[in-house]
Amino acid sequence: MPRLTSVALFLFLPAVVLAESQTPSIGYSGAPTDHGGANCITCHTGLPLNDPSGSLKVTVTNYVPSVQQLIRIVIQNPNASRWGFQMTIREQSNQTLSAGTFTVPTGQMNEQVVCEDGSQFGSAAACSGNNIAEFAEHQNAPRGQAGTPYEFDVMWTPPEQEIGRLEVYVAAVAADGDGTDAGDYVYTYTQTLSNVGNCALSEQPTFNAIVNGASFAPGFSSGSMVSIFGAGFQTSGQARVAGLGDYVNGAFPTELGCVSVEVSGPGIDQAVPIPIAFASFGQINAQMPNFSGTGPVMLTVTVNPGSNGVNSAVATLSTLQEYSPAFFLFPNSTSIAAEEAGTGAIVADSSVVAGASAAKPGDIVSLFGTGFGAVNPAVAPGAVAGGKASIAGAITVTLGGETLPASSVMYAGLSPGSISGLYQFNIQIPASAPSGDVPVTIAIGGVQTQAGATIPIQ
């Protein structure tokens, strides 16, 4: 294929510039997962970003699920006479996911809503599915009087359910209208939105059981994960997994969706809220605080936390232990939640987890559990372990009935990047390991993980 000469290439430039003014390329609103957070200055170069001679103002408020609101975008610069913008709203927990939907108000002829489809300009809304990025933007970049602010209006309908905090990204252009990208001003705007409503549960929540969050057996310890089973913890059919958009000061939230849990016990005379990782109508997964000593623990669940909160009866628990070691298991199996260290490939029979495979002798495998006690350095309940934090107590690992030497236990501590109630053990499968579903136990302080937990080895 012959190369274009510089003269021939120049002939194409006016058309490209015109196309950009008429219809912007998608993914340039500043969202960090789109082109590395790029904005309109990628094309409109030559002037400082957010130059103080003009401004961008966006009016958007915290959201109530499903309650539509009007977003106003006002661009002003005394040297500009043509205007453009692009906006997206994303889940803070996963910024590849758009939150809610945009529509163009009746009578607005210079705006459109487009969906990411892999092309430069996207496709016309409505966007199908939550995994499609959605943008509101200008079309036929409107002209106005120089120095007079220009306003774009967009209707936004938030998600049907509360999904934690959201991030608004807007990039706007105040252009001089000369048909080139030189001399144009680019402005950016970001805002974090929180949920402010839609918790209207009125029934008293009830308990069935409060158990170890890994084994589902009685027994828990300081900082361990627990599962609370019952009814009325969320709206029926709704489930919430804590994500980045729910974190408070970098830690897991003590309110998730419409529920909170408070605990008191040895060393904790005044009830304290505890971190929550998951909440559905019938189950809460949470992390216990650090107790001191032994004795009963009191636990209360509250729905609609705040002035209209509804409290459960107080549950009195007598299963506080120094250690409550247990493995997490894959659902409906005895197979320990495990992966190949370094690759994240799931270690399980393919009938348990589709696409998984067995470990082999010599492999280093990560196993996950809870209830193994203090770590060094200490990490507060609910905090995310930023790096290695090794178990303070002595542990014994057995595989197929044989005790592994210390050299085969590469790491035993909190799982980096996870809630501080999740522990990780990197062990090397010995050459002598038997084949099949091989039992594994870890003991600490005279207590060991549940019997019958296995990993597949071939």
CB 298 within 8 A of CB 316: yes
Confidence of residue 107 (pLDDT cuts 50, 70, 90): confident
- Most confident region among 123-137, 155-169, 193-207 by mean pLDDT: 155-169
Query: In this predicted structure, what is the pLDDT of residue 131?
Result: 66
What are the tens digits of pLDDT across the range 427-442? 999 999 999 999 999 9
Topology of domain 206-321 in CATH is Immunoglobulin-like (2.60.40)
* CATH 2.60.40.4060 domain residues, the chain: 11-193
What gap in Å lies between CA 23 and CA 84, rounded to an integer? 9
Q: How far apart are the first and last CA of the chain?
A: 53
Query: In this predicted structure, what is the pLDDT of residue 21?
Result: 52
Task: Characterize the bridge pairing of strands 69-76 and 55-59.
Answer: antiparallel
State yes or no: pLDDT of 9 exceeds 90.
no
Query: In this predicted structure, what is the pLDDT of residue 15?
Result: 33
Q: Amino acid letter at 86?
A: Q
Task: Say which range, 10-14, 53-57, 141-145, 281-285, has the weakest mean pLDDT.
Answer: 10-14
In terms of pLDDT, which residue wins out, 359 or 23? 359
Surface-to-core class of residue 153, CB atoms within 10 Å of its CB (0-12 exposed, 13-18 middle, 19+ buried): middle
Of 100, 118, 112, whose CA–CA distance to 22 is shortest? 112
What gap in Å lies between CA 68 and CA 100, rounded to an integer? 9
Q: What is the mean pLDDT of residues 76-100?
A: 92
Q: Amino acid letter at 140?
A: N
Q: What is the mean pLDDT of residues 395-420?
A: 97
Surface-to-core class of residue 432, CB atoms within 10 Å of its CB (0-12 exposed, 13-18 middle, 19+ buried): exposed
Residues linked to residue 169 through DSSP beta bridges, in sequence order = 88, 190
| pTM for the model | 0.76
Query: In this predicted structure, what is the pLDDT of residue 198?
Result: 67
The pLDDT mean for the chain works out to 90
Query: In this predicted structure, what is the pLDDT of residue 370?
Result: 98
Domain 11-193, CATH: 2.60.40.4060
Confidence of residue 297 (pLDDT cuts 50, 70, 90): very high
Instruction: For the chain, give the number of residues.
Output: 458
Surface-to-core class of residue 47, CB atoms within 10 Å of its CB (0-12 exposed, 13-18 middle, 19+ buried): middle
* Ordered DSSP codes for 299-327: EEEEES-STT-EEPPPEEE--EES---EE
Whole-number percent of the chain with pLDDT over 70: 94
What are the tens digits of pLDDT across the range 174-190? 998 887 888 899 999 99
236 contacts: CB under 8 Å, gap ≥ 6: 281
In terms of pLDDT, which residue wins out, 195 or 427? 427
* CATH 2.60.40.10 domain residues, the chain: 206-321
Q: What is the mean pLDDT of residues 389-394?
A: 97
CB 256 within 8 A of CB 246: yes
Q: What is the mean pLDDT of residues 148-171?
A: 92
State yes or no: pLDDT of 374 exceeds 80.
yes
Of 246, 75, 47, 64, whose CA–CA distance to 156 is shortest? 64
CB 156 within 8 A of CB 233: no
